[in-house]
Chains A and B, each alone.
Chain A
Amino acid sequence: MSWIRRAIILGAGLALLSSSVWTIQQDESGLVHRFGRVVRTVGPGFHLTLPWPAEHIEKLKTAVSRSMPVGFTYLEQLGAENADPSRREWLTGDTNIVKMEVTLNYTITDPLQHLYGMSDLSSGLSRDLVLRRLAEAAMTESIASMGIDEALSTGKTQLRKDVLGRVQRQAESFQLGITLNSFNLTEVAPPPEAQNSFNEVTSAQSYRDQQLSEAAGARATPLPFARAEADRIVQQAQTAATETTAKAQGWSKAFGELATSLQRHREIGMQRIWLQSVEQILSRAELTILPRLPEGKTAPLYLPNK
């Protein structure tokens, strides 16, 4: 009889003892509850508490970085859920629609706040989804104050700044117990329904660039040619001018000499140069001599057929 009692007491003792021994893994934190109240937070390692029902430890993975998709869901990416295009759509300040997907990375930095600042959603989903709502509201507000061109280009920096700052502030005031690590814009694009016309703008821009570089090319080639041509024209004129002047000077000199030489025997001198000219001309020409015919008659004249 007594060994049964001893066994029961030993068993109960062991059970109580085991309820007071805890191991917290490397990536976890533990909240020690004493009759429901959290009395301390413990880190990884081996811990002792008062036995059940006085104390127990609630564990939470805190060392891992978590990610929260905004504008899409992981289920949808895996094909486990129907994709909802309107989830990606955001209205810009100029009443256009822009397509945007974002991933937020965060870590739980205050386990007590994280578990007891805000409740789980009434749908039973995790309170982490509050973060998505806050991020969505921040993004909606930020994008609604910029135009679509800004949203697609320079606005991304502004958006990141707006969202990170505001969501972190609100996460603190709503006691999510988390710290945001990064904001990654995984996709920013015009909506697929209007994608073609946006592509057309891009191709128009490259058309313009091409026109400009073609124009630069069309400018680069003819101008040097024109300069060379202009140079040639001037050079030619100079050559011609030199010739004209030289010829006139030569002639003038020769004339001066002739005039001097003709100061005496002028008649004879003039006759001499006349004959020189006649000789010059006749020596190069073909001569035909016609006989003198009686009045009123003409000789048939055969001209060489050239």
Chain B
Amino acid sequence: MKRRWIPITAIALLAIALSSFQVTEGSHAVVTRFGKPVALIEGAGLHFKLPSPIDSAVPIDMRMHLLDPEPGNYLTRDKKSLLVDSFLIWSVDDPLQYYKAVGTRGAAEARLSEVLRSVVGDVLSSYDFEDILTTDDEQSGLARIAVDLQSAASDRVDANKMGLTIKSFQVKRLNFPDQNKRAVFSRMETERQAISSGIRADGKEQYDKIKAQTDREEAELLAEARRKAAEIRGTAEAEAARLYAEAYNADPELYNFVRSLDAAEAAFSGKDNLIILHADHPLLKVLGSMPSSPPTANDSVGGGN
């Protein structure tokens, strides 16, 4: 009697196992009957269906996914080549449609990669290189490109009825293709060289300017001092001239006489003057004979010559 429970329990357990399924967090599940989808289970947890192989449950990952393919070379509208590395974030928004049209994440990513490549190509070719890299605009070119990328990709995905949605489409890296980089680096070097020689020239110019200003100020100081000195001297000389003129006016004859004597004295003021006189020069005559006024003087005294 007791033994009969064992097979009954076993059969019951098997039936439960075949007709129940778990939906994990972040997933939905599509229940299919002989391969045809019949129900969508939206909540995670324990759910029931008709036992396999009649019904089966296909989990659909409802989380967001990142698709980040290899970067590619694209041409801008003005035919400049750019290496663009972009990624998109997508998620399933219609699980039944997604199950029917795409099925697996791998298939979805393969199709999205194609969409990504062609959308990036389209969008890039509608911008000039200067619009993408610019320091002028308020909004950067890349922000506008990201908006364009997302709407273009969404249009494609909606048109294809893939049951998924693009949450974000962004350019994560921009670079020049390797073969153009050398030119960029050498342009950067040329630019820097121009800047540094400009700075050097500026330094030289500033130095010269300050130096010249200093020289000028120095010359001005000295010139002003000389002018002042000349003025002081001039005033003093004018005063002296006035005094001499006064003297002259008071007694011209005496003035001329005294000035002549002064001049003679000044002319012979040195120590090494040699004066040659004739023997009958008036000065010597005084020595040669007694003046007549004192009659008592002896004649013979002045006889020496």
Residues of A within 8 A of B (CB): 31, 33-38, 86, 89-97, 112, 115-119, 121-122, 127, 129-130, 133-134, 136-137, 140-142, 144-148, 150, 170, 173-175, 190-191, 193-194, 196-198, 200-201, 203-205, 207-212, 214-216, 218-219, 222-223, 226-227, 229-231, 233-234, 236-238, 240-242, 244-245, 247-249, 251-252, 255-256, 258-259, 262, 270, 273-274, 277-278, 280-282, 284-292, 301, 303-304, 306
Contacts and interface: CB of A to CB of B under 8 A. Distances in A.
Interface string B181-208: 1101100111111011101101110110
A150 B68 CA distance: 30
A231 B225 contact: yes
A281 B232 contact: no
B290 interface: no
B58 to A, nearest CB: 15
B255 interface: yes
B67 to A, nearest CB: 7
A297 to B, nearest CB: 13
Nearest to B85: A136
B228 interface: yes
Interface stretch (B95-103, B115-123, B209-217, B291-299): B209-217
Interface of B is mostly: helix
Q: Of B167, B193, B196, B279, which is in contact with the most chain A CB atoms at under 10 Å from its CB?
A: B196
Contacts of A259: 247, 250-251, 254
Contact of A194 (B135, B142, B188, B204): B188
B129 to A, nearest CB: 8
B11 interface: no
B122 to A, nearest CB: 19
Given A119-B63, A245-B236, A303-B274, A91 B167 contact: no
Interface residues of B, number: 115
Contact of B142 (A117, A140, A207): A140
B157 interface: no
Contacts, number: 338
B256 to A, nearest CB: 11
- Tell me the dominant secondary structure on chain A's binding face: helix
A230 B172 CA distance: 71
Nearest to A191: B185
A237 B230 CA distance: 7
B133 interface: yes
Contact of B67 (A97, A122, A134, A194): A122
B114 interface: no
A226 B222 contact: yes
Contacts of A237: 228-230, 232-233
Contact of A280 (B23, B24, B171, B265): B265
B35 interface: no
Contacts of B236: 240-242, 244-245
B232 A214 contact: no
Nearest to A53: B22
B74 to A, nearest CB: 14
B46 A201 contact: no
Contact of A174 (B141, B167, B218): B167
A284 B246 CA distance: 32
Nearest to B89: A174
